[in-house]
């Protein structure tokens, strides 16, 4: 007698089939598609998952930089993980995502470490929004499938600016976010959520110019015990664009637990067509 338990769509997307040491087969998830191609946050999470699945991996992620080199096609791809350095309490990883004729479509550098309790301080201002828990999170109804895998409560800087005329003065967003259905957060989940903060240029310009994230860097300020404390509660995302110039802009964001811990800080640089 066997019991079939349905996997959460995110866990389904994170499934890796081992091919050799440090080599896995994975596939894009139809449930996490963006306008064109798969949601980069899930691609990044798959690359991080591959590094974490390496049999020699110890510790938890401290930093991950994911570069998006070329569009990923729907379907299968391979992830190749190489340990570039073994230190006493940390490891460095290089991950390549290969598709088609072994073409590198994305690459990533990841550093993992054993983390201990130390002196700590949060110098970022604690967002006002953390004083109030969200009343209700809603699924948005969009044609971006991956957006339907999350639920949100926007306090500032909504996905679709409203008003008559809409305001395009600031690119700040403050938003509660959670997987839908809810799911206990893990490192891959943190990385994916850090990319749900949509491109800031859409809050600054009414025209939806073509864009594409070039490179995403997320710093993890948490270990497993911190994630266990968050569980499946919503997290607060705070994001803002910094400089928009010569076809590229950068944006920075932070992800907070409801208890006021800054779990991750994240930065990305995004191409935009003028």
Scanning 3-11, 14-22, 110-118, 174-182 for contacts with a copy of itself by CB under 8 A, the matching segment is: 110-118
Cβ atoms of 81 and 23 within 8 Å: the answer is yes
Distance CA 228, CA 54 (A): 22
Distance CA 262, CA 124 (A): 9
Interface with a copy of itself (CB under 8 A), residue from 73, 84, 167, 232: 84
Q: Other C-beta atoms within 10 Å of 189: how many? A: 22
- The DSSP call for residue 46 is H
Distance CA 177, CA 233 (A): 9
Least distance between a copy of itself and beta carbon 104 (Å): 5
Least distance between a copy of itself and beta carbon 256 (Å): 10
Distance CA 16, CA 83 (A): 18
Q: Site size for a copy of itself, by CB under 8 A? A: 58
Tokens 């390549």, located at residue: 96
- Does the protein bind a copy of itself through residue 206 (CB under 8 A)? no
**What binding mask, one character per residue, do residues 44-63 give for a copy of itself by CB under 8 A, x or -?**
------------------xx
Nearer to a copy of itself, 49 or 218 (CB): 218
Cβ atoms of 231 and 203 within 8 Å: the answer is no
Name the maximum alpha-carbon separation found in the chain. Answer: 62
Least distance between a copy of itself and beta carbon 60 (Å): 9
Q: Which residues bind a copy of itself (CB under 8 A)?
A: 62-63, 65, 67, 69-70, 84-85, 87, 90, 92, 94, 104, 107, 109, 111, 113, 115-124, 170-171, 200, 204-205, 214-215, 217, 219, 221-223, 240-248, 250, 252, 254, 262, 265, 267, 269, 271-272, 274
């Amino acid at each position: 007698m066997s019991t079939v338990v349905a996997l959460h769509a995110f866990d389904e997307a994170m499934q890796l089939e081992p091919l050799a040491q440090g080599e896995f087969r994975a596939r894009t998830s139809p449930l996490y598609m963006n306008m064109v191609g798969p949601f980069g946050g899930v691609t990044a999470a798959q690359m991080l998952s591959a590094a974490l699945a390496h049999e020699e991996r110890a510790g938890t992620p401290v930093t991950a930089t994911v570069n998006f080199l070329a569009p990923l096609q729907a379907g299968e791809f391979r992830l190749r993980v190489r340990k570039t350095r073994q230190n006493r309490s940390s490891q460095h990883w290089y991950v390549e995502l290969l598709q088609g004729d072994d073409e590198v479509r994305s690459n990533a550098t990841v550093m993992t470490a054993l983390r201990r309790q130390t002196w700590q301080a949060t110098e970022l201002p604690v967002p006002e929004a953390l004083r109030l828990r969200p009343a209700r999170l809603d699924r948005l109804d969009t044609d971006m499938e991956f957006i339907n895998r999350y639920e949100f409560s926007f306090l500032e800087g909504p996905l679709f600016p409203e008003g008559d005329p809409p305001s395009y003065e600031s690119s700040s967003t403050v938003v509660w976010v959670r997987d839908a259905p809810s799911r206990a957060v893990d490192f891959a989940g943190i990385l994916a959520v850090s990319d749900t903060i949509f491109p800031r240029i859409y809050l600054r310009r009414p025209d939806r110019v073509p864009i594409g994230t070039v490179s995403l860097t997320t710093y993890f300020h948490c270990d497993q015990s911190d994630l266990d404390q968050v569980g499946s509660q919503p997290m607060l995302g705070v994001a803002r664009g910094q400089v928009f110039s010569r076809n590229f802009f950068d944006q920075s964001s932070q992800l907070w637990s409801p208890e006021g811990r800054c779990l991750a800080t994240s930065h990305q640089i995004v191409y935009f067509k003028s």
